[in-house]
């Protein structure tokens, strides 16, 4: 009962499209492939999909991932460098800043203002023009009159 509550047309097509994820397409059965083809042609009928061509594309997709599964033994160095974190200092600094701010402010401030204050503190090296900030603040209506 719990599962059927969330299984509407959008979530069903999402689950079916998950069959195209490389790890899933490697183990796709003929029944699931047929279900995928039917769901896509029904849901995306406005695209005028040729079923035979689409079936061929699925087979090519599956073959591509079977071959790449056997080929890719190492990860290129530039990929590793791009995902490797250079330093954890900035993350630790932001967490400690947020902890200090939250301790000091407790529940007297809203989440949006707390986030803004934390960002200001973490990125304190960015130069800010006070007059631009005042002008931007003065453009919005407030309950209290803003007088310079």
The string of pLDDT tens digits covering residues 113-135 is: 777 777 777 777 888 888 988 88
Least confident residue range of 38-42, 66-70, 74-78: 74-78
Res. 61 pLDDT band, cuts 50 70 90: confident
Check whether residue 43 and residue 84 sit in a common domain.
no
Question: Are residues 86 and 119 part of one domain?
Answer: yes
Nearest to residue 33, comparing CAs of 57, 11, 55, 14? Answer: 55
Structural domain total, the chain? 2
Supply the mean pLDDT for the chain.
74
Based on the fold, state whether residues 90 and 53 are members of the same structural domain: no
72 lies in the same domain as 91:
no
- Domain range for 5 is 1-76
Q: Could you tell me if residue 147 is inside a domain?
A: no
Q: Which of 96, 137, 136 is nearest to 118 (CA)?
A: 96
Say whether both 89 and 31 belong to one domain: no
């Amino acid at each position: 009962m719990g599962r059927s509550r969330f299984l509407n047309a959008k979530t069903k097509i999402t689950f079916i499209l998950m069959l195209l994820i490389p790890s899933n397409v490697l183990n796709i059965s003929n029944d699931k492939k047929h279900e995928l083809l039917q769901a896509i042609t029904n849901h995306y009928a406005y695209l005028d999909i040729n079923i035979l061509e689409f079936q061929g594309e699925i087979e090519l997709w599956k073959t591509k991932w079977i071959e790449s599964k056997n080929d890719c033994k190492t990860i290129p160095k530039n990929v590793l460098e791009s995902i490797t974190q250079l330093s954890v200092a900035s993350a630790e600094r932001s967490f400690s800043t947020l902890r200090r701010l939250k301790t000091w402010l407790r529940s007297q401030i809203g989440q949006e203002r707390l986030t803004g204050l934390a960002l200001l503190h973490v990125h304190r090296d960015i130069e800010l023009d006070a007059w631009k900030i005042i002008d931007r603040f003065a453009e919005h209506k407030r309950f209290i009159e803003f007088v310079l």
